């Protein structure tokens, strides 16, 4: 990973894509199971995943740090040990707090590929 960009958490049990930096300060490793996609993310301090949507349901489990999540225009901060459910088709974005963050996103049904979402804005 580039200097200053954290490595995503480890997930065991499903084949994984190589770690990749998808947006500045946002790294991920995607695991595709038979029916679910599991993506482990690490965000550098203040890093942001832009506004996007996808047709799958997303369950996000926050592991470390704080993440500000905006879903359909409503914003809430989540910390380690908390979980967020995002219904299919809703516009959402995430931004890490001052310490950075790591979390795991469970996507169901399984995505066709890692970038199977529509970016709505930066």
| pLDDT tens readout for residues 66-97 | 999 999 999 999 999 999 999 999 999 999 99
Please identify every stretch of the chain with a pLDDT value under 50, giving residue numbers as ranges: none
* Whether the Cβ atoms of residue 100 and residue 44 lie closer than 8 Å to each other: yes
> Rounded CA gap, 42 and 121, in Å?
21
Q: Tell me, what's the pLDDT at 3?
A: 64
How many C-alpha atoms does 71 have within 13 Å on its Cβ side?
Answer: 17
Q: How many CB atoms lie within 10 A of CB 101?
A: 26
Q: Which CATH superfamily is domain 20-121 in?
A: Jelly Rolls (2.60.120.10)
Q: Tell me, what's the pLDDT at 122?
A: 63
What are the distances in angstroms from CA 119 to CA 9, 12, 79, 106?
24, 28, 25, 19
Q: Tell me, what's the pLDDT at 2?
A: 59
| Domain assignments of the chain as residue spans, ordered by start | 20-121
């Amino acid at each position: 990973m580039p200097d200053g960009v954290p490595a995503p958490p480890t997930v065991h049990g499903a084949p994984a894509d190589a770690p990749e930096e998808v947006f500045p300060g946002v790294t991920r490793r995607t695991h595709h199971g038979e029916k679910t996609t599991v993506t482990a993310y690490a965000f550098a301090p203040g890093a942001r995943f832009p506004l996007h949507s996808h047709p799958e349901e997303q369950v996000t489990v926050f592991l470390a740090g704080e993440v500000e999540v905006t879903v359909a225009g409503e914003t809430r901060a989540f910390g380690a040990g908390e979980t967020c459910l995002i219904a299919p088709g809703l516009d959402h974005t995430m931004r890490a707090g001052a310490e950075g963050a790591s979390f795991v996103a469970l996507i169901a049904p399984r995505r066709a590929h890692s970038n199977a979402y529509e970016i709505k804005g930066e």
